[in-house]
Amino acid sequence: AAPSRGERGGGERRAVARMLIPLPPMPAGDATTSGAIASLKTPVLLVLIVQTVLCGFKIFVLLDIMGGFITAIGIGIGWYGWSNNMHLTFLSYWGFMCLIDGAFGLVRLIDMQVHSPYNFYESGKGAHTYNVIQTFRLLIPLSQLLGAVMAYVVFKRSQEPEQRRLNTYSDDAPRPSAAPQRQTFQTFQGSGQRLGDS
């Protein structure tokens, strides 16, 4: 049967979404993985706080509105995953976006410094403000890369219960017993009897 108009429309929308956002499927968490990564909730919180402060500096001091908005989206996804019992899927998206944003931010900083007539840090009158701004320019992409590392640590920690289950299953699995010994016998054994014998 030919697909209906609604089915065709839904398939086209999914195809467009895959072309616009070519992201791999992220891991899904459950109660077991949430318990395994519960100990990382405080480190993730600290990273998110640092990222939020630096993102505010990026927007309101450096006046990088577009870049700060993109950074804020990734941080918002991280806050959502953290507030939802360390939801592994959203934390994975957070780490993925932090990796991209941090890498591009670091490359952009290097490109600006290469073409700048000034050193990264200067000395002299009025250099203090310039050095502080340069420090924040460096810390912003580094904090994003730190978020990517933290998301990877969370993902690796979430895989430990599954690995333990696999190891337990392999230890408890019945091992094949030794092959049974083949019984040898010969046909027509014993003494024969003639018809009529008692």
Give the pLDDT score at 72. 97
- Over residues 31-59, the pLDDT tens digits come to 556 677 888 999 999 999 999 999 999 99
At residue 21 the predicted structure's pLDDT band, cuts being 50, 70 and 90, is very low
CB-CB contact of 72 with 53 (8 Å): no
Among residues 32, 29, 71, which one has the least CA distance to residue 155?
29
- Give the rounded distance of the alpha carbon of 142 from its chain centre: 18
Give the pLDDT score at 160. 80
Identity of the residue numbered 22 = P
Q: CA 103 to CA 13: how far, in whole Å?
A: 30
- Over residues 67-95, the pLDDT tens digits come to 999 999 999 999 999 999 899 999 999 99
pTM score: 0.69
Give residues with Cβ within 8 angstroms of 56, minimum separation 6: none
DSSP one-letter string for the chain: -PPPHHHHHHHHHHHHHHHH--PPPPP---HHHHHHTGGGHHHHHHHHHHHHHHHHHHHHTS--HHHHHHHHHHHHHHHHHHHTTS-HHHHHHHHHHHHHHHHHHHHHHHHHHHT-SS-SS--STTHHHHHHHHHHHHHHHHHHHHHHHHHHHHHHHHTHHHHHHHHHHHHHSPPPPPPPPPPP--SS-S----TT--
